[in-house]
């Protein structure tokens, strides 16, 4: 009977598993499934619920656009694409002939402004001397007027005395006439000197006004602090700045990229000549699903791996903030969901992650590289 039962197997037909063995296999399979389910639940509870991850993350950087602040012909480009440069390193040189001429002219204008200040001061000093001489003339005229007034008083007294004696025979007619003439002459002398004093005083006031007008541009200043000299200094500083701007230097440490500057090219002020990528201060924008962000907070730690280095190199960082909107919200043509055929799509929000500078220096990255990011959200439990 045993031979007949096993005969179909020998003829190539399917073997029949005994019911007892089949039951054991099913039990084992059930145990394995339950164990796997338990492991999945345990992982999700112990680990998965404390970490959110995404592979939709990319290295970004605040690229420095190199734009000249003066126009001219490029005469030298000592750097090349992909070259590492330091902040302040020369990137390209613009012909500086015009700027050197402008500096020389500004220096001459400054020297002229200083000379003009000295000339005005000297003229003011000369006018001060003239005013002093005019004041002395006024004093002299006033002294002469005082003397003339004294002579007039004496002549008036002599005239009054002789006039009172007229008709008594004590004084002759000629003597009275001489006294009268002397009185008139004294009066004329006083009037003349009074006019002279008035004229001298007027000239003194005019001299003082002229001196004040001459010194007005430099009043209350020194030669270096005068408005004209300050203006000339500012023009010289501007000319020197334009000259310095003919040497375009790296604004940050980084890698030179997108070089469009060429020797002999006429470049305009404000046009982009190249880009410097600050590889030492790169960051990651990780695009997490909106359903993952409920527990994500700024300051949480992040572990990242790059396709460039593989899983052997782990970068560490921290969350620094969230974008102001989803990618769809800032798209040139935003999604219009107020239609009859609308289908809900889970949106992604960029999360900014700051990288450890030391790890970045040890394993340099480049803008645009793919990353995988895992945020530890266990601190929110």
Mean pLDDT to the nearest integer, 203-223: 81
Query: pLDDT tens digits, residue range 2-51?
Result: 444 444 444 544 556 677 677 777 777 888 888 887 777 665 565 556 78
Q: What pLDDT does residue 178 have?
A: 83
Q: 258 to each of 65, 81, 82, 88, 261, how far by Cα in Å?
A: 10, 7, 9, 19, 9
Q: What pLDDT does residue 2 have?
A: 43
Question: DSSP label at 331?
Answer: S
Question: Which of the two residues, 36 and 334, has the higher pLDDT score?
Answer: 36
Q: What pLDDT does residue 45 have?
A: 60
Q: How far apart are CA 81 and CA 179, in angstroms?
A: 114
Q: What pLDDT does residue 10 have?
A: 46
Residues of the chain with pLDDT > 90, as a percent, come to 45
Q: How far apart are CA 242 and CA 71, in angstroms?
A: 10
Mean pLDDT to the nearest integer, 321-339: 75
Q: What is the DSSP code string of 68-124?
A: -SS-EEEEE----TT-EE-TT-EEEEE--HHHHHHHHHHHHHHHHHHHHHHHHHHHH
CB 374 within 8 A of CB 52: yes
Lowest-pLDDT range of 113-117, 214-218, 362-366: 214-218
Buried b (16+ CB within 10 A) or exposed e, 31-68: eeeeeeeeeeeeeeeeeeebebbbeebebbbebbebeb
Query: pLDDT tens digits, residue range 268-278?
Result: 999 999 999 99
Q: 171 to each of 18, 158, 163, 177, 356, how far by Cα in Å?
A: 187, 12, 9, 10, 128
Q: Which two tokens stand for residue 97?
A: 């002939």
3-state DSSP call for residue 237? helix
Based on its alpha-carbon atoms, the radius of gyration of the chain, rounded to whole angstroms, reads 52
Nearest to 380 by CA among 301, 289, 288, 291: 301
Question: Which of the two residues, 233 and 182, has the higher pLDDT score?
Answer: 233
Tell me the pairing of strands 84-85 and 72-76: unpaired
Asked whether residue 104 carries a pLDDT value surpassing 90, the answer given is yes
What mean pLDDT is reported for the chain?
85
Q: How far apart are CA 189 and CA 147, in angstroms?
A: 10
Asked whether residue 297 carries a pLDDT value surpassing 50, the answer given is yes
Mean pLDDT to the nearest integer, 352-370: 93
Q: Which pTM value belongs to this model?
A: 0.64
Q: If phi over 0 gives left and psi between -120 and 50 gives alpha, with beta otherwise, what is residue 12? A: left
Q: What pLDDT does residue 49 have?
A: 60
Query: pLDDT tens digits, residue range 232-243?
Result: 999 999 999 999
Report the DSSP beta bridge partners of residue 315: 304
């Amino acid at each position: 009977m045993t031979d007949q039962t096993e005969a179909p197997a020998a003829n190539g037909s399917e073997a029949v598993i005994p019911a007892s063995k089949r039951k054991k296999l099913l039990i084992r399979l059930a145990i394995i499934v339950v164990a796997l389910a338990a492991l999945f639940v345990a992982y999700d509870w112990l680990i998965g619920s404390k970490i959110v991850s995404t592979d939709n993350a990319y290295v970004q950087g605040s690229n420095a656009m190199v734009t000249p602040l003066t126009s001219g012909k490029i005469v030298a480009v000592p750097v090349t694409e992909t070259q590492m440069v330091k902040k302040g390193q020369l990137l390209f040189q613009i012909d500086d002939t015009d700027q050197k001429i402008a500096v020389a002219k500004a220096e001459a204008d400054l020297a002229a402004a200083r000379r003009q200040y000295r000339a005005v001061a000297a003229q003011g000093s000369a006018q001060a001397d003239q005013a002093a001489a005019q004041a002395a003339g006024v004093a002299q005229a006033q002294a002469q007027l005082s003397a003339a007034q004294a002579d007039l008083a004496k002549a008036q007294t002599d005239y009054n005395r002789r006039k009172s004696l007229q008709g008594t025979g004590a004084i002759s007619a000629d003597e009275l006439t001489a006294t009268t003439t002397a009185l008139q002459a004294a009066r004329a002398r006083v009037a003349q000197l009074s006019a002279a004093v008035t004229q001298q005083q007027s000239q003194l006031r005019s001299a003082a006004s002229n001196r004040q007008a001459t010194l007005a541009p430099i009043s209350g200043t020194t030669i270096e602090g005068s408005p004209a000299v300050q203006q000339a200094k500012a023009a010289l500083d501007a000319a020197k700045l334009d000259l310095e701007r003919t040497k375009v230097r790296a604004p940050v440490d980084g890698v030179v990229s997108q070089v469009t500057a060429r020797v002999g090219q006429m470049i305009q002020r404000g046009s982009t000549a190249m880009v410097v990528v600050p590889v030492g201060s790169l960051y990651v924008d990780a695009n997490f699903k909106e359903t993952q962000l409920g527990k994500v907070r700024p300051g949480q730690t992040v572990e990242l791996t790059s396709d460039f280095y593989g899983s052997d190199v782990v970068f560490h960082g921290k969350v620094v903030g969230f974008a102001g909107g989803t990618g769809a919200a800032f798209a040139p043509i935003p999604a219009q969901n107020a239609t009859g055929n609308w289908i809900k799509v889970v949106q992604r929000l960029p999360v900014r992650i700051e990288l450890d500078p030391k790890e970045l220096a040890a394993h340099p990255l480049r803008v645009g590289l793919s990353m995988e990011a895992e945020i530890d959200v266990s601190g929110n439990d």
